[in-house]
Amino acid sequence: MKTTHFISLAAVLFGAAGFSVRADVPNTLTDAEKAAGWQLLWDGKTLDGWVGEKNGCKTPPTKGWKIEDGVLTVLPRCGVRGKKLPKEQAALGGGGDLVTVKAFRDFELSVDFRLTKAANSGIKYFYNQKLFKGTCEEYQILHEAHPDSTKGRDGKCRRVASLYDMIPANAEPYVKPLGEWNTAKIVSKGTHVEHWLNGHKVLEYERGSEEFRAIVAKSKYVKEQKPGEHWGEAPTGRIKLQDHTDSTVSFRNIKIREL
């Protein structure tokens, strides 16, 4: 007699022993990731561990960020180039940037993001609200149709995966089509920083080097430095997800491991 074998959903998700989480389940960690020191920055359900910059980094924002089916989406309050949205839609946006409660020094950060047409956002790191008027390094998240894509220094430093307004990434060949998920990775160890997109290293730099300080001097951030200060060299800082006010961008699988 022919025997038919059935595999339960639990076995697929958790393995024969019931312990290992499948790698493609959003907002979860595998046993291997846990062993390597990874931790989730977003649980896929709440804003626990996050606060709003507009709320003085004291409490989570009360609007502007939608959580649905394990996806975190920032909602706009206006259209691109300030175009007005219907009042009902605009009222949902304006939540401001999301900020982690915890600050980090050396880390590897991984974030899945999904673009919409002309979308604009960013993953900011080493954020300290008391330094440089709250400005900090930014992994740019941008769709090429947004007007900012050709602005800034050399017209290339505001494109996807770039160090915003400072170092171009030239990562366009690795960007997935609209509607698909991309994976951003930021690795910072000591003074060395790398930006990755979908498994490809697209730029690297040394914080505090003469070259880096020369780049800062040509950027929009030079004016945020007080005498004796050096922008972009804070030893620790928080992670931020940007609300650019004119875009819809979604996030998931936000995880970090300290190095």
Q: Is 15 a residue whose pLDDT tops 70?
A: no
32 and 43 belong to one structural domain: no
At 211, which helix (H) or strand (E)?
Answer: helix 210-217
Q: Is 2 a residue whose pLDDT tops 60?
A: no
**Could you tell me the CATH number of the domain that includes residue 105?**
2.60.120.560
43, 100, 194 from 46: Cα distances, Å: 6, 13, 29
Order of strands across the sheet that contains 137-142:
50-52, 98-104, 237-241, 120-127, 137-142
Q: Is 30 a residue whose pLDDT tops 60?
A: yes
Mean predicted confidence (pLDDT) in 88-116: 96
19 and 97 belong to one structural domain: no
Range of the domain at 26: 1-36
pTM, two decimal places: 0.90
Query: What is the band of 17 on the pLDDT scale with cuts at 50, 70, 90?
Result: very low
Q: What is the pLDDT of residues 57-80, one digit of tens each?
A: 999 999 999 999 999 999 999 999
Q: What is the pLDDT of residue 218?
A: 93
Average pLDDT, the chain: 91
DSSP state of 154: G
47 and 131 belong to one structural domain: yes
Q: What is the pLDDT of residue 207?
A: 98
Instruction: State how far the Cα of 161 lies from the Cα of 190, in Å rounded to an integer.
Output: 21
State the burial class of residue 49 (Cβ atoms within 10 Å of its Cβ: 0-12, 13-18, 19+). Answer: middle
Number of domains in the chain: 2
Residue 16 or 147, more confident: 147
Mean predicted confidence (pLDDT) in 163-171: 95
151 and 95 belong to one structural domain: yes
Q: What is the pLDDT of residues 219-258, one digit of tens each?
A: 999 999 988 899 999 999 999 999 999 999 999 999 999 9
Query: What is the band of 81 on the pLDDT scale with cuts at 50, 70, 90?
Result: confident
Q: Residues of 53-75 as b/e, b for ≥16 C-beta within 10 angstroms? A: beeebeebbeebbeeeeebbbbb
89 and 177 belong to one structural domain: yes
74 and 175 belong to one structural domain: yes
Reduced to 3 states (helix: H, G, I; strand: E, B; else coil), residue 167 is strand
72 and 25 belong to one structural domain: no
Does the CA dihedral 70-117-108-133 come out positive or negative? negative
Q: Which residues pair with 257 in a beta bridge?
A: 38, 108
DSSP state of 96: -
Query: What is the band of 22 on the pLDDT scale with cuts at 50, 70, 90?
Result: low
